[in-house]
Amino acid sequence: MNFEAVTIKDIARELGISASAVSKALKDSYEISEKTKKAVLECAKRLNYRPNPMAQSLKRGNSKSLGIVVSTIDNTFFAQVINGMESVAYSKNYNVIITQTHESYDLEVSNVEHLTVRAIDGLLISLSNETEDLGHLKRLHDKGLPIVFFDRVTDDIETHRVVADNFRGAYEATNSLIEAGYRKIAHITSSPHISITDDRLNGFRLAMSENNIPVNEQFVKYCLHGGRDLNEIEKALTELLCTPDRPDALFTAADRITTTTLMLLHKLGFRIPEDIALLGFTNTGLAEVLNPSLSSVYQPAFEMGKKATEMLISLIESRRPVTEFEKVVLPTEVIIRDSSKPVLIHK
Amino acid sequence: MNFEAVTIKDIARELGISASAVSKALKDSYEISEKTKKAVLECAKRLNYRPNPMAQSLKRGNSKSLGIVVSTIDNTFFAQVINGMESVAYSKNYNVIITQTHESYDLEVSNVEHLTVRAIDGLLISLSNETEDLGHLKRLHDKGLPIVFFDRVTDDIETHRVVADNFRGAYEATNSLIEAGYRKIAHITSSPHISITDDRLNGFRLAMSENNIPVNEQFVKYCLHGGRDLNEIEKALTELLCTPDRPDALFTAADRITTTTLMLLHKLGFRIPEDIALLGFTNTGLAEVLNPSLSSVYQPAFEMGKKATEMLISLIESRRPVTEFEKVVLPTEVIIRDSSKPVLIHK
DNA sequence: TTGTAAGCGTTATCAC
DNA sequence: GTGATAACGCTTACAA
């Protein structure tokens, strides 16, 4: 760029040596004398030389950047995942390029396109709520683009996957509701298209059946937009709560759904847990503070980001084609909360 | 990249013409015959040719990508700003690279470094809470890197700035509290280092003084971490509320501060607005739902992102050096809410 | 209308 | 130990 114009040639000219000597000196090649190295290093520092990553990429055939595709960055869970990804990527000298699908299949396709055009070395992706067809990803994968799926994964593409233990998290969470005496438990969850929805639903079902509690199918509500659409959740809640035989507890299956449900319950004048119990997957401090009386299910977001990125970078940097793929399941943490919180102050 | 290996040469070879003819045909040059163009286009599509952006950048001396620096993406306001930025950038064929400072000066410096090393064409930045020294940005600006500041701006660097009308927003918000009958109004705000803090505080002070209400300086609380640190706000709240002559209303000056305050008030058992009124800057749907009885100050986040990006791209693409810089002030929206919300259902 | 050649900044290979 | 040279993929004078 014009504003960062110091190149290897400038150093070469300055010292009266060749560009290739400078290049070698800068990477501490054994071919170059100590004296020259010292002079080059000094000069590079003095002129504030920075290698041009474009030129390096062009030469080396890689870009040292990773593409990230999430539904939205405005979500505590994904924000934490991205933080984990950044931490590993930066430590290994990779950059990340973040894109959002806003839960749209079309945007997912065009973002993936955008990223590969921009020449990424690998892709970290959590599928959008809408996505059913994986053609766009299969094609890239077949061409050799390393891909790691996280959170919302698919088994249709042979590669690494990192997920939280959604099944166990849902199972334990449901159990804790049952232990607390609740029986009429409703489950508000995401789109049926994505992998995690099934896992959580199955955990819920197992806990219920182990306790000989039949699942009322009217009490299972899907939210196609995953909590981003307030109306969708409002509708689900209305249907659940506007009946004489309404649930005595809600189990919400995603960060946004939990937060939104909490908001709506407050708005509707329901006290928690006196009027209705609420337990949900959440990575927002919010739910725990507003809802101190019950457990919540915390997803290992930062760890997930780290793990996925480590796996991706190892895929990228492995010399030979990888044939063994791993599905890593990280433990979900069910936080059992103590309802005896001190109330600090006089009103 | 190895997985996307179709180059201009492949097309040239396929058609038995030269690479430069292909290049020209692809950009619809007048020099090339219609027949050749058609053949090239067909072949490019058939082979799924994608230009290598690295090579283009190297040649053209630009990267068609913009750097974004925000404190954190896990914040409704910044997430909305980024959405606005993406919408403009994509429409003009720019990519964005998002980085977070987590309110740390050191991270701000290293991110900016990272971005320029990665060769961005321009920088969109909202200063971190901690930043006082602007040397790192001044140096880049002097070298010719186009920069646009948004939200948390500085007057020390001669360039475009985009802000919300924080002064007016705070003024109107405070007025609405006063009109509602509150007199003992506390102000919880961000770090005193950043520009918006002063603007908001001044709006608050003007409204108070116009109504002949003295500002109790004990009622003005600064949060150096801008609401990210729960303890900081808890401390401020405790100090404010644990006195006999406590405030009857809180005016919070930032999205995260509003949300966190809301959480803590609930936790402490304060009802809003019966026990204490709360009015704040917020871009989260949350606050409005939980706090339906009062106004809230909505920042034009999406518009801010759009405007800042338009200005940056015009800076980048302007041929001659720009000497006239603009400070755009977007209107803040004070939403007066109706407390008569229907409560839907029987408990 | 098309082809040739040089060059963007870097690096690898080979010669000196 | 150091320097020429070619190459990465693309663009653009300029030559044909």
Q: Which of A61, A242, A266 sits opposite B1 (nearest CB)?
A: A61
* pLDDT of A290 strictly over 50: yes
Check if A74 contacts B (Cβ < 8 Å).
yes
According to the model, what pLDDT value does residue A327 have? 93
Mean pLDDT of chain A: 86
Dihedral, CA atoms, B119, B120, B126, B129, nearest 10 degrees?
A: -10
| In the predicted structure, residue A180 carries a pLDDT above the cut 50 | yes
The arithmetic mean of pLDDT across residues A310-314, rounded, is 95
pLDDT at B47: 86
Whether the pLDDT of residue A3 is over 60: the answer is no
Tokens in use for A300? 């290992």
Tens of pLDDT, residue by residue over B177-223, are 998 899 999 999 998 888 899 999 999 999 999 999 999 999 999 99
A124-128, B35-39, B243-247, B276-280: range with highest mean pLDDT: A124-128
> For position A172, what pLDDT does the model report?
92
Question: What pLDDT score does A162 carry?
Answer: 97
Tokens of B244: 């006999």
Q: Edge to edge, what strands does the sheet with A65-70 contain? A: A95-100, A65-70, A122-125, A147-150, A160-164, A327-330
pLDDT at B139: 86
Summarised one tens digit per residue, pLDDT across range A21-43 is 888 898 888 988 888 888 889 88
The whole-number Å distance from A286's CA to C13's C1' is 61
Contact B206, B171 (CB under 8 A): yes
pLDDT of B305 reads 97
The H-or-E segment that residue A65 falls in is strand A65-70
Dmax over CA atoms of chain B, in Å, equals: 89
> Beta-carbon neighbour count of residue B18 at 10 Å?
12
pLDDT above 80 (res A91): yes
Answer whether any strand D atom is within 7 A of the Cβ of A58.
yes
User: Is the Cβ pair B344, A118 closer than 8 Å?
Assistant: no
10 Å Cβ neighbour count for B60?
10
B252 pLDDT more than 90: yes
Model confidence at B343: pLDDT above 50? no
Q: What is the mean pLDDT of chain B?
A: 86
In whole angstroms, give the CA distance from residue B188 to residue B261: 9
pLDDT one-digit tens code per residue, A206-261: 999 999 999 999 999 999 877 777 889 999 999 999 888 999 999 999 888 888 88
pLDDT of residue A53: 82
Q: Is the predicted pLDDT of residue A135 greater than 60, yes or no?
A: yes
Our CA-based measurement puts residue B114 at a distance from the nearest CA of chain A, in whole angstroms, of 9
Mean pLDDT of B301-305: 96
Q: Please check the confidence at residue B344 and state whether its pLDDT lies above 60.
A: no
B58 touches strand D (CB under 7 A): yes
